[in-house]
Structure 1
Amino acid sequence: MDLNAIQIILVIVVAFLAGMEGILDEWEFHQPLVACTLIGLVTGNLTLGIMLGGSLQMIALGWANIGAAVAPDAALAAVASAIILIKGGQGTKGIGTATGLAITLAVAGLFLTMLVRTISTAIVHIMDKHAEEGNWRMINVWQWIAVCLQGLRIAIPSACLLAIPTSTVRSALAAMPSWLSDGMTIGGGMVVAVGYAMVINMMASREVWPFFAIGFALAGVQDLTLIALGAIGLSLALMYLALEDKVSKGSGDAAAAGTGDPLGDIIDDY
């Protein structure tokens, strides 16, 4: 679909915010589910944005910066793949291809990340100089410049993608051989599974495994929608947190009573 001027501006704003949030981590605009949903919203393709964002979010769950190792750029992957999906006009059929392209774009985005962080290193030295002079105003100015560079890191590539004619994007996607598009779809699905497995591996414990089992069992009930499953999951999480808090507060009294079962005592009180 062809985007009008207002939609293009809004997409660039979302891309700029996603780039900044890659460093700030305050409003989570860089998360694929949020970025893709916002781009889908401003372009009139909310459903597509949510579906693509959900797929990419499962991949990004396993991405994390560990020491000197920098994770792939989730913000660029989300924004760029959402733009390609919407301009490609393939609808839900293009989600698999967009997911595969997102992984490539995420790795390529590391170059822009290194470039901006190298520039930020020079900015830090400039800020140190102003700190020695006690010039707090210039310290704040350079801090804003550094943060805005992170936003431009995503906004500029997004603007370049938006400048490509829609017909060119559709022709390129149509010219892609089936073995390549199908391979990208399968590969993207495998990466989603790996990302989710990594998250489970980090979170798995005796306390949370029952919730995983309940979730898989409920997912097989076809009458339950995603909203219903989400409501059940949220309710279980709130129940667990409430019981955990009560157990921690009442563990002293339970130990004194000699029961050895704080959770059982809470249930008996009900």
Structure 2
Amino acid sequence: MDVAWWQVLLITLYSAFAIYDGNNTTMGFVKPTMAGFFAGLILGDIQTGLIVGGTLNLLVLGVGNFGGASIPDYMTGALIGTAFAIFSGKGAEFGISLAVPIGLLMVQLDVLARFTNTYFQNRAEFFVKQGNLDKAARMGLWGLLPTSLSRMIPVFLALVFGANFIESIVAHMPEWLMSGLQVAGGILPALGIAILLRYLPVKENIPYLIIGFVVAAYLNITVLGAALIGLALAILGYQHFSKNENSTNDPALANGGMEDE
């Protein structure tokens, strides 16, 4: 499959917009699921994009770059991984296995971008001290440049030079390596859920965890159905908690509905 110039342009521009969105708003374009969907939409295979992006999204649940910390950039990984999965014809597992090391590599580029951005921020502080707020504001805009380029350049190079290379690489890959990549791609969702569970109060909510596992593993219902069951359990839990809270705060209810004489 050959990639058109407009596909390269749109996906490259999306990488810049998505990282801006991730640093400034909560619209969700930086999420791997959205990145995979967009790449799949542009390249004509939405299903593969959603599988790649959704799997990578499991790896970042409960993980955030608080305090300016750099974390694996699976948004970029989803864009490139989806493209390579579609180019190669080897399916989503292949794209996922490539996207993970790409996301880890992007940590180093993210650190470099943040380091470069300090120049513009220092200049902005200098202009603020001089009372020149217009120039200070422009420095804030210029500060977007290194962060955007740190995503645009890898995506652009991968899309321009990666299609033919990836096809030739896949053709010469040994079967044992391809099988290993597929196994790794299948393990990643479980790894992401395990990471998320470390941050959740599992001991206090183990019954809900068991119910969710049974619903997902044995009842053979859709994801939407499982989500609705989870919503119902959450509402019941909230109502029970609210009733207990009201009983504790109301002396009459705490004494069985009878006030002390």
Which of the five TM-score ranges fits, normalised by the shorter chain? Answer: 0.7 to 0.9
Pairwise CA distance, 1:112: 0.9
* CA shift digits 1:177-230 (9 cap, x unpaired): 122222222234334323211211210334432221111111134541223223
The 1:145/1:244 distance shift into structure 2, 3 A limit, reads farther
Who is 1:39 aligned against? 39
Q: Which stretch has the larger CA shift, 245-254 or 6-15?
A: 245-254
Q: Which stretch has the larger CA shift, 59-68 or 136-145?
A: 59-68
Who is 1:128 aligned against? 125
Pairwise CA distance, 1:25: 5.1
Pairwise CA distance, 1:251: 3.7
Who is 1:163 aligned against? 160
Pairwise CA distance, 1:231: 2.9
Separation in 1 of the partners of 2:37 and 2:243?
A: 37
Who is 2:71 aligned against? 71
* Equivalent residue in structure 2 for 1:141, among 138, 141, 154: 138
Q: Answer whether contact 2:38 2:49 (CA < 8 A) is retained.
A: yes
Q: Answer whether contact 2:19 2:30 (CA < 8 A) is retained.
A: yes
* Equivalent residue in structure 1 for 2:116, among 111, 114, 119: 119
Q: Answer whether contact 2:202 2:209 (CA < 8 A) is retained.
A: no
- Report % sequence identity: 26
Pairwise CA distance, 1:67: 6.9
Pairwise CA distance, 1:171: 1.8
Separation in 2 of the partners of 1:254 and 1:184?
A: 62
* CA shift digits 1:114-157 (9 cap, x unpaired): 21111111111101111111222222211122124322221221
| Secondary structure, aligned partner of 2:199 | helix
Separation in 2 of the partners of 1:249 and 1:33?
A: 40
The 1:249/1:186 distance shift into structure 2, 3 A limit, reads same
Separation in 2 of the partners of 1:12 and 1:67?
A: 27
Separation in 1 of the partners of 2:224 and 2:88?
A: 29
| Secondary structure, aligned partner of 1:169 | helix
* Equivalent residue in structure 1 for 2:207, among 210, 218, 221: 210
Report the count of equivalent residues. 257
The 1:97/1:240 distance shift into structure 2, 3 A limit, reads same
Unmatched 5+ stretches in structure 2: 257-261
The 1:252/1:231 distance shift into structure 2, 3 A limit, reads same
Which letter maps to 1:166? A
| Secondary structure, aligned partner of 2:70 | coil
Which letter maps to 1:219? A
CA RMSD of aligned residues (A): 2.7
Who is 1:263 aligned against? none
Which letter maps to 2:168? S
Separation in 2 of the partners of 1:169 and 1:248?
A: 59
Residues 1:110 and 2:107 are matched in the alignment: yes
Which letter maps to 2:37? T
Separation in 2 of the partners of 1:243 and 1:155?
A: 49
Separation in 1 of the partners of 2:93 and 2:123?
A: 45
Residues 1:15 and 2:53 are matched in the alignment: no
The 1:129/1:58 distance shift into structure 2, 3 A limit, reads same
Structure 1 residues 1-270: aligned runs within 5 Å: 1-24=1-24, 26-61=26-61, 63-65=63-65, 70-90=70-90, 94-164=91-161, 166-221=163-218, 223-241=220-238, 243-245=240-242, 247-249=244-246, 251-253=248-250, 256-258=253-255
Structure 1-normalised TM-score?
0.83
Q: Answer whether contact 1:100 1:187 (CA < 8 A) is retained.
A: yes
Pairwise CA distance, 1:170: 1.6
Separation in 1 of the partners of 2:191 and 2:163?
A: 33
Q: Answer whether contact 2:97 2:182 (CA < 8 A) is retained.
A: yes
Q: Answer whether contact 1:63 1:195 (CA < 8 A) is retained.
A: no
Separation in 1 of the partners of 2:149 and 2:3?
A: 21
Q: Answer whether contact 1:20 1:151 (CA < 8 A) is retained.
A: yes
